[in-house]
Amino acid sequence: MLISILFYLGLSVLWICAEPIIVLKREMGFKEENYETFPKWKRWVHKLINCLFCSSLWITLILSLDPQLAVITSLFAYIMENKF
């Protein structure tokens, strides 16, 4: 189970930090410098795809279909995000 947690946590970190994903998000219109001009719904989606806590929960839940693993992984992501 620990290996699975580390795998999904690593995948979530790559989702937030990897350059190809950042370019993809920018092409979808989620540019950091335009954040203040986003409508309310787009700000919400932007926060959702750029939050390690949220992303790790949804990535793990979608790929593993295990809610318990998803919650544990997102808690590790929350601790990691606030500790480092």
Q: Is the pTM of the predicted complex or chain greater than 0.85? A: no
Q: What is the pLDDT of residue 56?
A: 94
In the DSSP assignment, the letter for residue 62 is: H
Q: Along the 84 residues of the chain, how does pLDDT read in single tens digits?
A: 899 999 999 999 998 888 888 888 788 777 777 778 888 888 888 888 888 999 999 999 999 999 999 999 999 999 988 886
- Each residue of 37-52: pLDDT tens digit? 888 888 888 888 888 9
Q: Hey, CA dihedral for 78, 41, 14, 55, is it positive or negative?
A: positive
